[in-house]
Structure formats: C-alpha cells, structure tokens
C-alpha cells in the first residue's frame, strides 16, 4: 500500500502547487462542458442537414481560425499577461455558449447560426489554447514538474472526452441539444473563479517587447524551423491533425449508419476514445522526465494509424469500441508527448510563439474535416477514415527516419540534464495544446 501511495503521489506531484490545483480543478469542469457542446453541435448539424459535407464544413469553420490567427496569438502570449488573456478568452467562450443555448432552446437555431458561432469560438480558442499552453509553466515552481503538469492536463482532456460525450449523448436523447449548450456555459463559472483566485506574478518586462510584432513573429518561427525536434514534431502534429482526426467529425455517421445507433451510441463511441486517452495520459504522468519522448511520439502515431484502419473496416460495435480505445490512447500520447518535449526545450522568451506553432498544427484539422466531408460524400466515411490511418502511419515512418537527427539535440552526455532537461540548451529549446 505504501508503494502504491508513493506512486500515486509521484504521478500527481504537480498538484502540490496551489495555482496549478486551481487551474486543474477549474479546467476539468470546463473541459467536460466543452466536449458536451462539441458533440451536441456536431449532432445538431447532422440532424438539421443529414449531410456529411455540412459536417465537414461546420468543423472547418470551427477550427480554421486556429491556423489563421496562430501567429498573432503567439505574439500576444509572449507580449501580454497570459493570466489576463485566459480570463478574457474564457469569458468570451461562456458568452458564445449562452447565445447558442438561447437560439436552440427558443427554436430559432439555423445551420448558418452554427457556422457563424463555430467560427467565433474558433477565433476565441486560437488565443485561449496558445495562452493556456504557455501559462502552465507559470503555475509550477519547480520546472522539473512541468512534464507532469502537462501530462495531468492531458488527463483532464481525456476524462472530459470520456464523460462529456457520454453525458451529451444521454441529454440529447432526453431533452435536446440546448441543455448541453447551457450546461457548457455554466461550466465556465468554476474555471473563471479559479483563475481569479490565483496569485500569479506579473510577467517580467523584456527588451524584446520593444521589437515589432512582425519581427518577433519571424524570429520565433525561424528559431523553430532550424531546430529539428520542434520542426519535425510540429510537422507530424500537423499531418496527424489533417488526416488522423477526421473520425471525430464523421462519428455521427458511424453511430447512425455503420453501427445502426443513436445519440447514445455516439456518446458511447466517443467515450471509448476518452477511456483510452486516460490510460495514455496516465502512462505519461508516471514518467519521471521527458527523456525518450522523441521515440514515443512516432510509435504512438503508428498505433493511431493502424487502429484507425481497423476501425474503418468493421461494423461490429464491440470491435469498434476496442479500436477507439487504442485510437484515444495513441492520440493523447502523441499530442501530450509532443507538448511535453517542446515545452521542456523551449526558451521562455519564445514560449508563446513556439506554442502557437503547436496550436496552429491543430489548425490543419479544419482542412482535414472539409476534405473528409467531401470524400465521405463520394467514397463513404469508412474509406475516408481508413485513408487517414494510412497517412498517419506514413508520417510516423518519415519521423522515424529523421530520429537520429532529432536525438542529436535531445540527448546530451551531461548527467545533470537528466535532472533538468529544461535547461539543457540555452539557444535551442521549444514550446508545446488540447485540449
């Protein structure tokens, strides 16, 4: 029992910091609400249009701002108080959810409302995701605990991915989508309360802030381009977000047409990915440091790709749920390991801009969603997801071929770096979302 207690305490070590505990608790509630809204919006679009193309179009409008506004969001995260930025973005997201709930509950909702409000939320999330990822480092006093904090953030996303869709599936069937949006709006109250209760030191004034935003933007991205661990990690993230996440957009089709189910089946399917993600995030939280993550990343993508292919070829719900479990596991390990590796290497003065690259990689998702909607209309959802899995496997193989070059920058002969990976390169360090 003592050993188990020690292991649990080790896995939760970032929670010993008050600010991080507040952040963790608030984000847990909010993330569940966010997933409820995500599932409800997708289901509502499909219910109103019965169109795979419109599903892809909606998710395109919802996600493309992350790519368009990513560079600006990175400069904002480096130049302004991240704590205040997050308070503003979370408040705006709550207002968006309130408006959405009002339109649905009053029966005035139309598809163009969903497209417009999805785009607005995407703009808000572009700044929120970058600021939140960069803000994590400000919440842990001992930087050796940063990888654990990032892994625990992944657990938040994983738990919410399990609980949120399951609740949404039940609520949609019983009372409709509007209640999901209303509950999501309410979920922002605890996260805003937690943010307001934090005692965060004001950011140190930097000389760099005297530079023009365009010059800072260029400087940060050139830094990332010439540093192999960041460059290849971001490229693989972008590829996976383009091809390996389309199953989420097309999930209503699998639930309704392939598995002959309803909204409850949709929640069950998404819950299976959440359960796998929890296991993957727990694995990362148990690791003492980021060493070796450059090898974990490509194999996680291989797992994701193979299970996507198998999932696309089955019409048996049990096998589908099993594959989604491993899809969730591979996906969260890839995302969280990439974030941890980048955050552990980045220079603080470039953290926001490099982090924006991480956020922008998720901006490839809308293009994948739009393409998936078109492809699914012609070749079907199953073939579309299967092709995405093949692309993920190919990308992982290319990453493995560059692994030797990457490891030249992540491995050192100095044992002191084993205790503090964050400080192992003064000029070549990087930053890392989700959820």
DSSP helix/strand/coil, 285: helix
- Helices 403-410/293-312 angle, 10° precision: 140
Angle at 284 between CA 142 and CA 297, to 5 degrees: 115
Question: How far, in Å, CA of 71 to CA of 220, rounded?
Answer: 10
- pLDDT, tens digit, for every residue of 369-385? 778 888 988 898 899 99
**Percentage of the chain lying above the pLDDT 90 cut:** 26
Nearest C-alpha neighbor of 372 from the set 222, 242, 215: 242
Burial class of residue 413 in the structure, from the number of CB atoms within 10 Å of its CB (0-12 exposed, 13-18 middle, 19+ buried): exposed
What is the C-alpha separation between 304 and 396, in angstroms, rounded? 10
Cα–chain center distance at 298: 17
State the pLDDT confidence band at 390, using cuts at 50, 70 and 90: very high
- 90 is written with which tokens? 């979370």
Say how far apart CA 248 and CA 251 lie, in whole Å.
5
Q: Which helix (H) or strand (E) holds 391?
A: helix 381-401
Mean of the pLDDT values across residues 201-215? 59
What is this structure's pTM? 0.72
Give one DSSP letter per residue of 52-115, joined into a string. Answer: HHHHHHHHHHHHHHHHHSHHHHHHHHHHS-HHHHHHHHHHHHHHHHHHHHHHHHTT---HHHHH
Give the integer Cα–Cα distance in Å for 95 and 91. Answer: 6
pLDDT surpassing 90 at residue 367 = no
The H-or-E segment that residue 23 falls in is: helix 18-49
Segment 232-235 long-range contacts (CB within 8 Å, at least 24 positions apart): 232/399, 232/402, 232/405, 232/406, 233/297, 233/338, 233/341, 233/342, 233/430, 234/357, 234/358, 234/361
Which residues lie closer than 8 Å to 303 by C-beta, 6 or more apart? 326, 329, 330, 333
The rounded distance, in Å, linking the Cα atoms of 137 and 160 is 22
Give the per-residue SS3 of 339-385.
HHHHHHHCCHHHHHHHHHHHHHHHHHHHHHHHHHHHHHHHHCHHHHH
Give the Cα separation of 261 and 431 in Å (integer): 41
The pLDDT value recorded for residue 47 is 85
Centroid of chain to Cα 198: 24
For 89-127, the pLDDT digits (tens) are 999 999 999 999 999 998 888 888 889 999 999 899 889
pLDDT higher than 90, residue 13: no
State the average pLDDT for the chain.
82
pLDDT, tens digit, 9 for 90 and up, residues 299-308: 999 999 999 9
Between residues 281 and 178, the one the model is more confident about? 178
Q: Is residue 325 a contact partner of residue 399, using CB atoms and an 8 Å limit? A: no
């Amino acid at each position: 029992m003592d050993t188990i207690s020690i292991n649990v305490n080790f896995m939760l070590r970032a929670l010993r910091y008050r600010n991080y505990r507040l952040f963790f608790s608030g984000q847990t509630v909010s993330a569940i609400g966010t997933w409820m809204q995500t599932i409800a919006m997708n289901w509502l679009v499909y219910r109103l249009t019965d169109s795979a193309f419109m599903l892809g179009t909606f998710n395109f409008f919802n996600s493309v701002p992350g790519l368009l506004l990513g560079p600006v969001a990175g400069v904002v995260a480096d130049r302004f108080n991240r704590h205040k930025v997050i308070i503003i973005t979370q408040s705006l997201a709550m207002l968006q959810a309130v408006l959405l709930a009002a339109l649905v509950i009053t029966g005035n909702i139309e598809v163009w409302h969903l497209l417009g409000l999805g785009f607005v939320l995407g703009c808000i999330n572009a700044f929120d995701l970058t600021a939140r990822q960069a803000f994590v480092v400000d919440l842990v006093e001992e930087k050796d605990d940063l990888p654990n904090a990032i892994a625990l953030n992944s657990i938040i996303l994983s738990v919410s991915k399990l609980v949120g869709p399951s609740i949404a599936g039940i609520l949609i069937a019983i009372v409709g989508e509007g209640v999901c949006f209303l509950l999501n709006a309410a979920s922002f109250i605890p996260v805003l309360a937690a943010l307001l209760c934090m005692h965060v030191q004001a950011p140190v004034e930097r000389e760099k802030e005297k530079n023009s935003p365009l010059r800072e933007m260029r400087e940060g991205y050139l830094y990332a381009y010439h540093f192999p661990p960041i460059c290849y990690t971001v490229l693989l993230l972008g590829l996976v977000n383009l091809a390996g996440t389309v199953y989420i957009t097309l999930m209503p089709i699998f639930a309704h047409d392939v598995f002959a189910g309803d909204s409850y089946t949709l929640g069950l399917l998404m819950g299976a990915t959440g359960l796998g993600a929890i296991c993957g995030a727990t694995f990362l939280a148990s690791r003492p440091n980021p060493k070796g993550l450059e090898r974990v990343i490509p194999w996680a993508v291989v797992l994701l790709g193979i299970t996507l292919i198998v999932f696309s070829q089955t019409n048996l719900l049990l096998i589908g749920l099993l594959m989604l479990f491993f899809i969730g596991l591979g996906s969260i390990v890839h995302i969280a390991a990439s974030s941890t590796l980048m955050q552990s290497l980045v220079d603080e003065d470039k953290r926001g801009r490099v982090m924006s690259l991480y956020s922008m990689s998720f901006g490839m998702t809308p293009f994948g969603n739009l393409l998936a909607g078109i492809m699914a209309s012609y070749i079907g959802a199953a073939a579309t997801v299967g092709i995405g899995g093949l692309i993920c496997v190919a990308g992982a193989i290319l990453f493995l071929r560059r692994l030797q070059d990457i490891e030249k920058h992540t491995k050192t002969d100095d044992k002191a770096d084993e205790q503090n990976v964050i400080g192992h390169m003064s000029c070549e360090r990087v930053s890392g979302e989700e959820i």
